[in-house]
Structure 1
């Protein structure tokens, strides 16, 4: 019989792995690496995600990593834009190639019918060989004479998100900067191509271990939901002897690293404000450990949420420098005080100290 971990035990484990049980004394690169990247299609959101996780986060540190090519914005997990350590991108990208192609081709099956992917990739690389960064649309238009049927959107997504491993270049993603997406092949931006696919799937085994370090205990369905990869059962089987096994309240098998933190379920959890599309929520198939099923849709709709006692209990926005919190349940006076304090600190962070205004809007 395996130990059963209830939702609260899983919640506290998730918070600990996600650096949300207490702010960590980590550098930005170490935090990005530990988390296996941060979802980042909204360019400013990772700054809030890191501020909530790190004791002394300075946005300039992330900017320096992006301009210094040590952190990269690229399509990877689930075909979404992530902010990842450059070393992880180079090591992992080939393992995601088939999934990325399949997702784009499935989305645009009708438009891309008859397009030879190898020929398209070669044509796209030839255009980018001049070293000039391009948007998806610019690259698509550059090859459209040869493939006039699909249109720029399918061609651009297929080239940049799937066929040509690419980086989104700064100033996109820098603090308080608005900039369009300009892409270069990873080889041009980082100085070498991504590692070739490993026939022994060492990368798959690494992904299992790294996922569990940042998200465990978790089921294989959770690993699949985070990565978007269907072909990891063999990797899980290969490392299974290294792992410990639990069950959740539904009877699902959960795997974990033996020495990973699993705090006492009664460990206090601070109020935390999460950005849109935070992987602390999206990184699971079963998200009930952190968000009620009734509110699950918030996590895919781009709502920013606040954790109270470790669970999604409010949404938040910023209006004219004021952090506005809308609870999803009745909060106690003590909880409201914690939300107000953290919301004021967030407002100061987002405004570079110019405002600490926050308010809670309730219907109760």
Structure 2
């Protein structure tokens, strides 16, 4: 009797080797994907900066001291604001100044200072971008785009939660292509102009909104960072913003018998203002076309009296190069709002996104 070796049953892998290889490949890909997928962003819980208040107080004392130096410069070349020339001619006695020398950005940023966006035209100077990196309720407004979106795109890439509202009088939703696809869900576009009054009727083109009306429409009570390029309309537009959100103090800036060109106890020719402007930081391009020095001074002091302090400026040399017959009439200024509880002047613990757990540590007061 012949004996036969019993055959062992074939395994699934032996019967269908191609399917087995495909299954293993799929399993390994799935494992790799889920094990390396980025975790959802978490807000930054800031550590206390015990030096922040000390730094701000020091810069304010230094800034107040500068006001007397500004008045000395006005007296030297005026002697009143109405007699100061914006851009003195190239002739004796050759006064060594331009209008920008009266408004130096000497208030140091108490955090890191970064130029955000492209080199050349388009990039903007910001103070403390790190304060917005993990802020869940971060709101940014940007007005007047021209052709560059590098600042807005870079700011979106540098933060986890910031929502950016981008407005221009000539561009709308079609401008979305300028923002990387992965960031567009945090970018919002509108075709409108920022102005001193609301003009949104059927015949108004472009539609004009005040900042107060636009914030109400969007449901915002505070803006972390606002950028404005109004092509010369910034003077009346910002007067409207200041009137909408602040009021003059009742005490006059100088004694009743003092000359109108003499600054009062505050160091300004205008009354100090009460209230808090609705943003933490401002970046604005100033166009002094056909402006008089006394009007620029009054406008600037109104910003100072409302709590804004310039920490950086950048003269627009591209414009000066294209228009060599004129002066350096355009300049970008960055301001910090030293009033209120904005993220740049106060330590804070942001709310965790929905679903997060764990204790939060409130900052010391």
TM range (shorter): under 0.3
Higher helix share: 1
Higher RCO (C-alpha 8 Å, min separation 6): 1
Q: Provide the TM-score with structure 2 as the length reference.
A: 0.27
